[in-house]
A and B are shown apart, each in its own frame.
Chain A
Amino acid sequence: GAVVSQHPSRVICKSGTSVKIECRSLDFQATTMFWYRQFPKQSLMLMATSNEGSKATYEQGVEKDKFLINHASLTLSTLTVTSAHPEDSSFYICSAPSGGVTQYFGPGTRLLVL
């Protein structure tokens, strides 16, 4: 299957700083990528849709000014958590569709804000 990578795999930062998470499709191109957040013992929650060449679309309740998304190329989307706070600590996962309707997920990024 298609491969999606994320970097970093885990990050610890101080409250008030910004953190950038990269999502790459390694062996295919993706005009659209998706960002999810997962809290402990909960399911994945869709945060936003990243669109190459245009603005991201955000799910209801997700602050677009706090979670900045840039789809710089057909293989790279970045999520920047601005002015991070402890409540932003979570597991962030991206996905990209390949072959039409099949989504492939990255390994996830564990964010801990102190």
Chain B
Amino acid sequence: LAKTTQPISMDSYEGQEVNITCSHNNIATNDYITWYQQFPSQGPRFIIQGYKTKVTNEVASLFIPADRKSSTLSLPRVSLSDTAVYYCLVGGSQGNLIFGKGTKLSVKP
């Protein structure tokens, strides 16, 4: 399973755009890239998933370059409630996901 590397922490202010980049150099051909958000004492919540290029939904965008060795989660105009840990995971249809340390995002007023 592909290992991922993310910054341990990031700070931002309300209203700013936040970009969190994840490295996954040994991603396999059939692997998808999925981002989750986790608040304390809650299970991870699905944010966005992609295979290549760009994916956008109502809460975030995911940018994946052609070589797929990295990905960037973009959160537009963050608010205090976006303070959480964000995990980048890489996996295929077998389902089991190996979590890295994640990125602790702190949004300040």
Contacts and interface: CB of A to CB of B under 8 A. Distances in A.
Interface of A: 1, 4, 6, 32, 34, 36, 43-46, 49, 91, 93, 95, 97, 100-108, 110
Interface stretch (B16-24, B39-47, B62-70, B71-79): B39-47
Contacts of A46: 96-99
Given A43-B99, A46-B97, A103 B87 contact: no
A104 B46 CA distance: 7
A6 B36 CA distance: 18
B95 interface: yes
Interface of B: 32, 34, 36, 41-46, 49, 87, 91-93, 95-102
23 contacts: A1-B46, A34-B95, A34-B96, A34-B97, A43-B100, A43-B102, A44-B44, A44-B99, A46-B98, A91-B41, A93-B43, A95-B97, A97-B93, A101-B34, A101-B49, A102-B34, A103-B46, A104-B46, A105-B36, A106-B43, A107-B42, A108-B41, A110-B41
Nearest to A36: B99
A30 to B, nearest CB: 9
A39 to B, nearest CB: 12
A49 B43 CA distance: 17
Given A91-B41, A101-B95, A43 B87 contact: yes
